[in-house]
């Protein structure tokens, strides 16, 4: 039997006020543990370019510390605000550019794909997703804010997706 290095995956729930992140590691076949989760935050009174720069710095620091090999990032779905969608798309662009620069394999997942993978139901609400994240990672509490829970769900969805596409 070969000794395989456990895979470390970072999940990103893109946003410019709060950008959720979750880093998971393969513990046993099919199971993952949460190493860290949280949000990169930026202030509303800053220029958008400064906010993007801060998110980039925070992302680099997490990658440097935890050394993931895979980035799982959520694709955008916005029906309401074009302005918000564009700013979040810019965050995605910065993160994906850094992933390339840092030699991370990128896996993109759709919001309903995350819900289906985590809960089995494509129209699950936030509370259902959060409860399953708590269960899957055997956490004592639901990660807060919800962007952190979403990032863990995104990371886990990417891990499952890779298992079936590799």
Q: pLDDT truncated to tens, each residue of the chain (166 aa)?
A: 445 778 999 999 999 999 999 999 998 777 899 999 999 999 999 999 999 999 999 999 999 999 999 999 999 876 567 778 899 999 999 999 999 999 999 999 999 999 999 999 988 999 999 999 999 999 999 999 999 999 999 999 999 988 766 5
Q: Is 103 a catalytic residue?
A: no
**Domain residue spans of the chain:** 8-165
Which of the following is catalytic: 7, 13, 108, 113? Answer: 13
Tell me which residue of 106, 98, 50, 100 sits closest to 75, measured CA to CA. Answer: 106
CATH no. for 8-165: 3.30.420.10
**Cα-only R_g, the chain:** 15
Structure token pair of residue 152: 């863990």
Q: Is 74 a catalytic residue?
A: yes
Residue 127's region, left for phi above 0, alpha for psi from -120 to 50, else beta, is alpha
Which of the following is catalytic: 74, 113, 130, 150? Answer: 74
Which of the following is catalytic: 113, 146, 147, 150? Answer: 147
pTM for this entry: 0.93
Q: Is 13 a catalytic residue?
A: yes
């Amino acid at each position: 039997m070969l000794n395989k290095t456990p895979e470390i995956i970072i999940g990103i729930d893109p946003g410019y006020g709060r950008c959720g992140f979750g880093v998971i590691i393969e513990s046993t076949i099919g199971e993952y543990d949460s190493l860290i989760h949280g949000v990169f935050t930026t202030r509303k009174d800053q220029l958008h370019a400064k906010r993007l720069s801060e998110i980039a710095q925070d992302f680099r620091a997490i990658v440097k510390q935890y050394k993931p090999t895979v980035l799982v990032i959520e694709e955008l779905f916005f029906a309401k605000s074009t302005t918000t969608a564009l700013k979040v798309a810019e965050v995605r662009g910065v993160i994906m550019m850094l992933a390339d620069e840092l030699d991370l394999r990128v896996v993109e997942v759709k919001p309903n794909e995350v819900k289906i993978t985590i809960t089995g139901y494509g129209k699950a609400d936030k509370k259902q997703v959060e409860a399953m994240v708590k269960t899957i990672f055997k956490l004592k509490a639901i990660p807060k804010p919800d962007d952190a829970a979403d990032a863990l769900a995104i990371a886990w969805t990417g891990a499952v997706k890779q298992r079936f596409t590799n």
